[in-house]
Amino acid sequence: MKTYVYALFALLFLPVMTLADDGPPTPVDFGPMQGLTVETQNGPVSFQVEFAKTSEQRSRGLMYRQSMDDNVGMLFDMERPHAFSFWMKNTYIPLDLIFIGTDGDIMSIARNARPKSVRHIYSNGAALAVLEINGGYARKFGIERGDLVHHAMFNNEVDTSIDADKGLPQSAETPNRTPE
């Protein structure tokens, strides 16, 4: 009789337990949001990004997120240029994956990666970074292969702060001149 009960338990509950989605693990701190700009044929497009630079941060990425605001994303620093792949397991929102070289040039774009897919998405070359944004946004904003990504990790950051009085970037403020 005990064998029958164990067998029934295994048949009824083990498949359910196996298919159950693991809940989100403990939160990972990505630090403060950082500015990032993509220089496109149509002009600059700015994003606020979380910066994944540690192994733990890169492993978690955007998994378990139910949504993401417009003009927000995640930038993955892969530490050194190399070919690699991503997948969308435990990622619940469609994403565009933008693979970036050492100088900030966009090498390739995987558009509208399917949520929860275990299909590998390849960098198609030695990339240094990946920018993940909402699915469809690369097309919406005209982001293409060959466009330039500006961020501190590429040593080409653009000053996006604004002088509130003049509505100009701080770099365009009137210089402080002394009389001769």
- Span 57-85, pLDDT tens digits: 999 999 999 999 999 999 999 999 999 99
Rounded to whole angstroms, the Cα distance separating 116 from 169 reads 41
Domain residue spans in the chain? 34-158
Q: Say what the pLDDT of residue 25 is.
A: 72
SS3 per residue for 2-24 = HHHHHHHHHHHHHHHHHHCCCCC
Half-sphere CA count of 62, side-chain side, radius 13 A: 31
Q: Which residue has the higher pLDDT, 30 or 164?
A: 30
- Let me know: does 69 contact 83? Beta carbons within 8 Å: no
Q: What is the pTM of this model?
A: 0.76
Q: Say what the pLDDT of residue 115 is.
A: 97
- Let me know: does 166 contact 142? Beta carbons within 8 Å: no
Mean pLDDT of 120-142: 97
The class that CATH gives domain 34-158 is: mainly beta
Q: Which residue has the higher pLDDT, 152 or 1?
A: 152
